Amino acid sequence: MTAKDASEVGLMQEANDALGDSTELRRRLDEQGYIFLRQIMAKDKLLSLRQEMTEVLMEAGFLVAGTDPIDGIARIDAQCTEGDPEYADVYHRVYSLEAFHQAGHWPEVLAVMEQVVGGPVLPHPQKIARLWFPQYTEHTTPMHQDFVHFQGSFSTYTFWAPVGDCPLELGGLAVLPGSHKIGKVREHHFSLGAGGLAVDESELTGRWLSANYEAGDALIFPSLTVHQALPNYTEDRLRISLDNRYQAQGEPIAQHMLDPHLIGVTGFNWAACYAGWQSESLQYYWQDLDLDVVPQSSQWGDQGFTEALSLARDGDERALYQLRRIARRDPESERGQQALQLLHEVNV
């Protein structure tokens, strides 16, 4: 479950030659478990979005004062990640940007995803951004399948794109080709990093692949493909990316994917998100659709939390860190109470 270094990964095959041929794109997805596309989004639009996002991050104190926000020069002493309230507070300011949500509906993005799913596409309401600090490698997103987090349908696709250039050392995504062919959800265990769950590396075979991403590139893969982030080994650069989900209209979608991302950390809601928007075209757009909404399953999250409790009893520092985070974030919840009780028992 250790994050891979850039030196350990190969380079992905590009699939631009298959654009316009839905059958061929889907064949490659079925065979490789991913599609890597160069320059399918307009760089000027991405850089405009990056400008808006980084201006918010500068104002919030994530970036070094006096630098150009678009450079994304991170304040190391501001390091935090998705489970932390201070991260969510800043993240939801970025999340409220109308341009951020519009990016998930850009015509060039939807056109590619319609080829991938073979028909009309549903962009998930829950758009996602990743804001990853440098020199914070223990919190690198671990190797996992997306289905444990997003659920609904195995035929849900992640569309990952850097908002700005993302060379290997900045920590883009890496995929394990063919890992989706298992056709089921693998066992996941407690881990730090986004999502808090990881598959056991000893159960995986093959060589990891990634790329020196540039603004405009995109990586697409289904929910059973095992993937992870590479560590951000830069001295001071924040990695900023889009991480959105799409599926064919008519496929099941899990209830929680209709909510804003990280809603459980701060109570942020759509009304807060939409305040100040200039247009209503994307507000609650899914409510007029005939969706097959299914309940969220807590089985994987419950298992990860139970494992964290067990590991913490044995003194595992990563598990103790996670329990402290849960106890600080939501002390009144059932998990918060269990975390507080165990921390008291082990006197930490």
204 and 156, same structural domain?
Answer: yes
Q: How confident is the model at residue 6 (pLDDT cuts 50, 70, 90)?
A: low
What's the average model confidence in pLDDT over 329-337?
A: 92
Is there a single domain that holds both residue 270 and residue 316? no
Q: Do 191 and 320 reside in the same domain of the chain?
A: no
Statement to judge: residues 35 and 161 lie in one domain:
yes
Residue 4's pLDDT is 62
CATH number at residue 205: 2.60.120.620
Domain assignment of residue 59, yes or no: yes
Read off the pLDDT of each residue in 224-253 and give the average, rounded to a whole number. Answer: 97
Same domain for 234 and 131, yes or no, is yes
Same domain, 121 and 235: yes
| pLDDT at residue 329 greater than cutoff 90 | no
**Of 147-151, 164-168, 173-177, 330-334, which range is least confident?**
330-334
Give the domain range for residue 341.
298-348
Q: Can you give the pLDDT at residue 70?
A: 98
Q: What is the mean pLDDT of residues 9-34?
A: 97
Q: Considering its fold, how many domains does the chain have in total?
A: 2
pLDDT band with cut points at 50, 70 and 90 for residue 8: confident
Looking at residues 3-12, what average pLDDT do you find? 79
Q: Is residue 210 part of a domain?
A: yes
What confidence tens digit (pLDDT) does each residue in 91-125 have? 999 999 999 999 999 999 999 999 999 999 999 99
Residue 345: pLDDT above 90?
yes
The residue among 248, 274, 293 that closes a domain is 293
Note the pLDDT of residue 2.
Answer: 52
Q: Is the same domain home to 302 and 289?
A: no
Last residue of a domain, one of 270, 293, 316: 293
Q: Which tens digit of pLDDT belongs to each residue from 63-87?
A: 999 999 999 999 999 999 998 999 9
Average pLDDT, whole number, for the chain? Answer: 95
140 inside domain: yes
pLDDT over 60 (residue 21): yes
Does 27 map to a domain? yes
Q: Please tell me whether residues 139 and 253 are part of one structural domain.
A: yes
Confidence of residue 1 (pLDDT cuts 50, 70, 90): very low
Domain shared by 286 and 302, yes or no: no
Q: Of the residues 293, 308, 326, which one is the last residue of a structural domain?
A: 293
Would you say residue 1 lies in a domain?
A: no
**Residue 125 and residue 158 in one domain:** yes
Q: Give me 243's structure tokens.
A: 């991480």
345 and 245 inside one domain: no
Residue 26's pLDDT is 96
The reported pLDDT for the residue numbered 89 is 95
Q: Are residues 74 and 125 in the same domain?
A: yes
Q: Is residue 101 part of a domain?
A: yes
Q: What confidence tens digit (pLDDT) does each residue in 246-295 have?
A: 999 999 999 999 999 999 888 899 999 999 999 999 999 999 999 999 99
What's this model's pTM, rounded to 2 decimal places?
0.95
Q: Do the domain assignments include residue 174?
A: yes
Query: pLDDT tens digits, residue range 175-224?
Result: 999 999 999 999 999 999 989 999 999 999 999 999 999 999 999 999 99
